């Protein structure tokens, strides 16, 4: 009886194994039938880079890009930067062959316990596969393809080569892709010069780049940094002393620079369009061009100053668009009486006194009432709300004395430029 029972279960096990193997083979063939050749994407790896425009003297004039990425050799990335990303994103990276089964099981258990997707099981190799070889769609079939390709990539590339792809391609918030662009964006230095504390800030970003973006919420980014440092300590990547030093290091972010507020925006735009037209939009968007133009910085500055002086001289000849003088409020009536005009002629410049400045109710208009002798008129000022929201770098400005450096105040209402008693030139 026992022998018959044993025989039954033995054959059942064999049949189950055969059916399982056949199903696995059929599934493998099904999911690999249209699998892309990863070698095409990896061997000719050419991510989107920055287009840089220079003057004839080598001065960086402007940068244009669809992705802010600066490709850097793996040898230029410090060990503590690599360690920080490996410890947080894939601590068994050097042990597995593309798939971390232990990590997948641990993530599954945690997600079931928390009753939500709290932790992912993707390895660094899987992330490279997803970001470079496959499309970003989320589906069961894509996940299967990702696992197969990750295994194949591990068999064809070294761990360093995979890390090179990962650290240059990963999105790290604030429009920065890769550790080099992120280091310069946040800290103003190349990746090879950042400290353990700064590396921990960057390593905390891949999970949720914009949530932990230090420019948006520095406190939240620092809390995430402390988590990364604790992981580095418990996994043995840093010592207790290094942990204390990094924890106490102040994180200072550099101001975000926009070098495209440049000397010759029209010239730069002309060159940019020429580049796109000559090499095609697709090639232009891929980036990586270094364009050395014929522009001479010194001559360009002199030309712009000459134009500004010419405009100022023109205003002086035709009437300055600024306050001539200011009189006391109780002297306004006598001023008006003393400057009677028999008639007002068009296209002629007159001195007018501001008698009132206010903002209309329920409107974006602000007006100033002015008098030319006994003749009354108004000056309108429209606050361009939509433009002001979109173009923060171009506020409306006013100064009673021309100065390219100082003396300007942002105007969002006419009363900041004019007050009762101001005498101004007006062309009727």
- pLDDT of the residue at 385: 43
User: Is 40's pLDDT higher than 70?
Assistant: no
Query: Which range has the worst mean pLDDT, 71-75, 146-150, 280-284, 310-314?
Result: 310-314
User: Is 403's pLDDT higher than 50?
Assistant: no
Architecture of domain 67-248: Orthogonal Bundle (1.10)
* Banded model confidence at residue 301, pLDDT cuts 50, 70, 90: confident
- pLDDT of the residue at 174: 93
- pLDDT of the residue at 310: 78
Q: Where are the domains of the chain?
A: 67-248, 320-427
User: Is 401's pLDDT higher than 90?
Assistant: no
Query: Which range has the worst mean pLDDT, 197-201, 338-342, 391-395, 422-426?
Result: 391-395
* 341-370 per-position pLDDT tens digit: 445 556 666 667 676 676 655 555 566 666
* 315-334 per-position pLDDT tens digit: 666 555 554 445 445 554 55
- pLDDT of the residue at 85: 97
Architecture of domain 320-427: Beta Barrel (2.40)
* Banded model confidence at residue 29, pLDDT cuts 50, 70, 90: low
User: Could you give the percent of the chain with pLDDT greater than 90?
Assistant: 31
* 172-222 per-position pLDDT tens digit: 999 999 999 999 999 999 999 999 999 999 999 998 999 999 999 999 999
- pLDDT of the residue at 5: 63
- In this structure, the strands spanning 365-372 and 375-382 are antiparallel
CA–CA dist 86, 151 (Å, integer): 18
CA distances from 47 to 60, 101, 229, 310 (A): 22, 30, 30, 47
Select from 334, 312, 330 the least CA-distant residue to 321. Answer: 312
């Amino acid at each position: 009886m026992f022998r018959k029972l044993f025989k039954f279960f033995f054959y059942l096990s064999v049949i189950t194994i055969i059916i399982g193997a056949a199903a696995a083979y059929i599934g493998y063939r099904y999911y690999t039938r249209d699998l892309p050749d990863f070698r095409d994407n990896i061997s000719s790896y050419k991510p989107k880079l920055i287009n840089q425009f220079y003057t004839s003297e080598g001065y960086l004039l402007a940068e244009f890009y669809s992705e802010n990425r600066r490709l850097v050799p793996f040898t230029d990335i410090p060990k503590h930067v690599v360690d920080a990303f490996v410890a947080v994103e894939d601590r068994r990276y050097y042990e597995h062959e593309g798939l971390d089964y232990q990590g997948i099981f641990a993530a599954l258990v945690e997600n079931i316990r928390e009753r939500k997707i709290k932790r992912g099981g993707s390895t660094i190799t899987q992330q490279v596969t997803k970001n470079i070889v496959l499309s970003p769609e989320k589906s069961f079939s894509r996940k299967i393809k990702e696992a197969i390709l990750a295994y194949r990539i591990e068999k064809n590339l070294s761990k360093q080569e995979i890390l090179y792809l990962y650290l240059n391609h990963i999105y790290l918030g604030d429009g920065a892709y890769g550790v080099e662009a992120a280091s310069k964006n946040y800290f103003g230095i190349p990746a090879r010069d950042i400290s353990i504390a700064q590396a921990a800030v960057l390593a905390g970003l891949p999970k949720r780049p914009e949530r932990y973006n230090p420019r948006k919420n520095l406190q939240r980014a620092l809390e995430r940094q402390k988590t990364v440092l604790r992981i580095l300590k418990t996994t043995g990547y840093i010592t207790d002393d290094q942990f204390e030093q990094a924890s106490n290091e102040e994180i200072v972010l550099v101001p975000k620079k926009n070098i495209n507020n440049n000397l010759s925006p029209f010239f730069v735009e002309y060159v940019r369009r020429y580049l796109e037209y000559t090499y095609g939009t697709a090639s232009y968007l891929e980036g990586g061009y270094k364009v050395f133009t014929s522009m001479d910085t010194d001559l360009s500055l002199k030309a712009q100053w000459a134009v500004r002086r010419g405009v100022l001289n023109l205003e002086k000849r035709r009437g300055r668009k600024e306050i001539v003088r200011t009189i006391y409020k109780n002297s306004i009536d006598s001023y008006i009486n003393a400057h009677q005009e028999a008639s007002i002629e068009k296209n002629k410049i007159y001195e007018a006194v501001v008698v009132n400045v206010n903002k209309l109710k329920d409107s974006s208009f602000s007006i100033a009432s002015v008098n030319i002798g006994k003749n009354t008129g108004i000056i309108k000022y429209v606050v361009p709300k939509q433009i002001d929201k979109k173009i923060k770098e171009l506020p409306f400005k006013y100064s009673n004395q021309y100065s390219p450096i100082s003396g300007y105040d942002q105007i969002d209402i006419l009363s900041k430029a004019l007050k009762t008693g101001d005498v101004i030139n007006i062309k009727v």
